[in-house]
Amino acid sequence: MKRKDVIVGGLSGLAVMSKPAAAWAQGPRADLTPPKRGPITVAVVVGNGATVIDFAGPWEVFQDAIVANPGKPNDQQAAFEIAMISDKAAPLEATGGMIIQPRFNYEQRLRAPT
């Protein structure tokens, strides 16, 4: 098999896989409205056996996002409040033996912005 055949075949597969996503993107849309003030709450869902990078990577991205504080151009604030959530708010074991402690379980509500 030639290199060109592999590349063309791979691209054809990508086109087929992306079609449902493109159709979904054109469907009904629900606009998200951020709170009038304060950070947006983001829940990072974990469970026993969670792969560390699957929750640590998104956590890192959200924790580093900042926005300018309106009315105070040199003041910045966190754009997101992050909470770890699972089926129970008890210690869990992620891959590599890492012990993690979710703050909330599925039954609890995350703190609403004030």
- In a domain? residue 11: no
State the CB neighbour count (10 A cutoff) for residue 66.
Answer: 12
Tally the domains of the chain: 1
d(CA 86, CA 103): 8
- Angle formed at CA 59 by CA 22 and CA 113, multiple of 5 degrees: 90
Domain that holds residue 78: 40-105
- In a domain? residue 24: no
CB 84 within 8 Å of CB 102: yes
Q: What is the pLDDT along the chain (114 residues), one digit of tens a residue?
A: 454 444 444 444 444 444 455 555 566 666 767 777 788 889 999 999 999 999 999 999 999 988 877 777 777 888 899 999 999 989 999 999 999 999 898 888 655 444
- In a domain? residue 99: yes
Whether the full predicted model's pTM is greater than 0.75, yes or no, is: no
CB 31 within 8 Å of CB 79: no
